[in-house]
Amino acid sequence: MVREWDPRTASSAEIASLLDTLNAVLAADLPQDPPWRETFLREYLAEVMPGERRISWIAHEEDSPDGSPGRLLGHVHVLLLGDIGVLEVMVHPGARRNGLGSRLVRLAAHRVYQEGFQSIGVEVVGDTPAVGFYSALGFVREYVETRGVLDLSTVDWSALSSVATGFDPGYRLEFHPGGPPDSLIETYARAKAEVRDVGDGDLELRPSSYDPQRLRDSLDCLHRRGMQPYIVLAIHEASGEVAGLTEVVVPAQHPTRADQYDTIVVGEHRGHGIDRAIKARMLLELRSAEPQLAEVQTWNAQANEAMLKVNAELGFRPDRDWCEYGVDVGELVHRLDALG
């Protein structure tokens, strides 16, 4: 049975069943990743940025005669943002290769088409069944990043302390749990705009926020989804401007593994040891702010050699390819309809 599904009004049993399926998928496809918890899972699935919409469907077994709900076998959602629909689909490992994944994608693709969107993008993790699946559906790989994972038990904390202070005079570092203070939001947004025009082919499935109001909205959205942001800033003392920033989020759903988001050093402030220092300071701060944390994961374009080098020095180990695939919605609908 497949039906449209709204996580805001879903029963607790459905949320729990979705969690079971998600963890079965992780155990099968990414066995090194920590299992997810139910904390803030509903909010994670329901909350979106202003102007965005997420539409979801679930596939589940028939309810049993005693009325208890059937197990959730699959889930798909599409996030409509800008001019693209971003798709996520999962099928329980015990229910795969029966056409369910294709059926779920077909539902979502029809809706995206009806809504007038041109293309669908999806994140595909290397060395998982999703590669063969999306290729079979005609999706094309458009962008590749490498995920790196840092095991905090391997960190030399005293060496890291020297890195955290090893930047040139004229700057100071600030740690801001929760996000940048409002007094710095304008200069923070200007620093983030530095990476906007890189034009490296990224489909922007995880768009950053470049203007102050969008940045505030984005931080609010993170908090509502149960994702705690931490920021380390390098401030240029003479101008008071943000010269560099690094962002980490600790998700309530997997609080032992944090996500490293953007790290940016503004062009004119490069070459002063800021990138290493802000990342090192962040790890030191997280060690006391989030004592349960065991790992940090990050994603970098393979062309971004400077960042890959800093990450390697800090102890991040390359883990998997993390790809963005895209497809024209009309073509996808046509192909899936032809499959029947």
Ligand X SMILES: CC(C)(COP(=O)(O)OP(=O)(O)OC[C@H]1O[C@@H](n2cnc3c(N)ncnc32)[C@H](O)[C@@H]1OP(=O)(O)O)[C@@H](O)C(=O)NCCC(=O)NCCS
User: Could you list the residues that contact ligand X (CB under 6 A)?
Assistant: 25-26, 29-30, 89-91, 96-102, 125, 128-130, 132-133, 136
CB of 136 to ligand X, least distance (A): 3
The answer to whether the CB of 225 falls within 8 A of the CB of 47 is: yes
> Among 80, 10, 86, 72, which Cα is nearest to 41's?
10
Q: Output the CA–CA distances (angstroms, integers) from residue 27 to 36, 45, 160, in the order listed.
A: 11, 20, 33
CB of 95 to ligand X, least distance (A): 7
CB of 143 to ligand X, least distance (A): 17
- Of the pair 99, 178, the CB lying nearest ligand X is at 99
Structure tokens at 190: 């200007």
∠ CA 252-253-257, nearest 5°, is 85
- Of the pair 43, 88, the CB lying nearest ligand X is at 88
CB of 174 to ligand X, least distance (A): 35
CB of 273 to ligand X, least distance (A): 36
- The Cα–Cα gap between 138 and 136 comes to 5
- Of the pair 129, 212, the CB lying nearest ligand X is at 129
Long-range contacts from 5-14, C-beta under 8 angstroms, 24+ separation = 5/56, 5/57, 5/58, 5/75, 6/46, 6/56, 7/42, 7/45, 7/46, 7/56, 8/42, 8/46, 10/42, 11/69, 13/68, 13/69, 14/58, 14/60, 14/69, 14/72
The answer to whether the CB of 169 falls within 8 A of the CB of 314 is: no
CB of 267 to ligand X, least distance (A): 36
- Of the pair 94, 201, the CB lying nearest ligand X is at 94
- Of the pair 99, 330, the CB lying nearest ligand X is at 99
Amino acid at site 305: E
- Of the pair 89, 264, the CB lying nearest ligand X is at 89
CB of 130 to ligand X, least distance (A): 4
- Of the pair 35, 129, the CB lying nearest ligand X is at 129
